[in-house]
Amino acid sequence: MDSDEIKKSETDKGKISMNKSAFNALMISVIAASLVAAFFAGSYVNLKSDQVTKSELNSAIVKLESKISENQQPQQANVKPTDISTDNDPIRGDQNAPITIVEFSDFQCPFCARFQTQTLPLILEQYVDTGKVKFVFRDFPIQNSHPNAMPAAVAAECANEQNKYWQFHDELFENQGVWNKMAITNATKVFKEFATKLDLNQDQFNSCLDSGKYIGEINSDLNDGRKYGITGTPGFFIGNEKIGFVKVNGAQPFEVFKSVIDSQLNT
C-alpha cells in the first residue's frame, strides 16, 4: 500500500470515528430531548440505542423539537377569559393589580421548586412588589407520581388559616429535598415541624392537617386546572378578564415571563 493509500485509509478511519462520535452525541441529545418533551407533554419516549436506526433517530429529533417548540411558546389560553378563576386561593401582591398570574403547581414537583426558587423572586421584585401584577397559587398535586403533594397542599392551606400561607409555601419548596421521598406519615411529621418553626398554633395546625380538612378545596383546584387544559406542572395563565390570558407551560426562565407580562401590560 503506497503512502497516498495509507493516508486515505487513515482519513477514512478518522471519518468513521467521527461519525460514531457524532452518532453517540446524537443519541444523547435525543434522549435528553425526550426527557424535556416528557415534562412538557406529560408523556415518556422510550429510545433504546440498540434498536433505533439513524433514520428513526432523525425522525424522532424532528418530532421532539417540534413538540418542545410548540409547548415552550406562550399560547393564548384555549378557554374563555372569564373562565380563568383565582377561586379563593392565596394571592401575593395588590388585589387591584392590572395583571394576574395564576399558577397551577405541585409542592413535590422538582420543576415547580425550580420556578419558586429561581424565577418567582424576580417576578415578585419587578412586577408584584411594584403593583403591576398579583400572583395566585392554585394546587395541582399529581398524586400518582407525587404522593406527598396532597398532604403538603393541605398543610399549606392549614397554615393559611393562621395567615402564614406564603411562609409555609416557601418552606415546602425550599426544603423539598428533605420530605419529597419520605413515606407520607414521615412527611406529615416534617410539615408539623415546619409549623412549629413558623410559630403556628400547633394544636390547630395538627388537627387541620390530620383531618385532611382542605382536600375538597384542593380537588376543586385540580378540576379547574384540568378544565383549563393543565396537564403538567407548573402551568401558568397571565392576563386579565378584559384582554384574556396567555398560557405558559413549565418552569420557563424569567425572560419568558417578562416578555409575556410586558406584552399584557401594554395591551
pLDDT digits (tens, 9 = 90+) for 117-150: 999 999 999 999 999 999 999 999 999 999 999 9
Ordered structural domains, the chain, with CATH: 3-72 (no CATH), 75-265 (3.40.30.10)
Question: Does residue 35 surpass a pLDDT of 80?
Answer: no
In this predicted model, which residue has the larger pLDDT, 259 or 48? Answer: 259
Q: Is 54 a residue whose pLDDT tops 80?
A: no
For residue 222 the three cell numbers come to 385540580
pLDDT value of position 202:
97
Specify the pLDDT at position 84. 82
Q: How large is the average pLDDT for residues 181-190?
A: 97
% the chain with pLDDT above 70? 69
Hey, what long-range contacts does 256-264 have (CB within 8 A, 24 or more apart)?
Answer: 256/72, 256/74, 257/101, 257/119, 257/123, 258/126, 259/74, 260/74, 261/99, 261/101, 261/123, 261/127, 261/132, 261/133, 264/99, 264/238, 264/239, 264/240
Whether this prediction's pTM lies above 0.85 is answered by no
Please determine, for residue 171, whether its predicted confidence score (pLDDT) is greater than 50: yes
From the list 242, 243, 225, 224, the residue with the least C-alpha distance to 233 is: 225
Q: Which of 152-161, 243-252, 258-267 has the highest mean pLDDT?
A: 152-161
Cα radius of gyration (the chain) = 24
Asked if 224 contacts 88 with a C-beta cutoff of 8 angstroms, the reply is: no
* pLDDT (average), residues 146-155: 97
pLDDT of amino acid 33:
40
On the question of pLDDT at 243 being above 50, the answer is yes
Would the CA dihedral through 226, 232, 233, 234 be positive or negative?
Answer: negative
* Opening angle at CA 91, ends 86 and 94, nearest 5: 110
Alpha-carbon distance values, 260 to 10, 61, 144, 255 (Å): 54, 28, 32, 9
Span 79-93, average pLDDT: 77
Tell me what the pLDDT averaged over the chain comes to. Answer: 79
Angle between helix 184-197 and 202-211 (nearest 10): 150
Ranking 15-29, 144-158, 225-239 by mean pLDDT, the lowest is 15-29
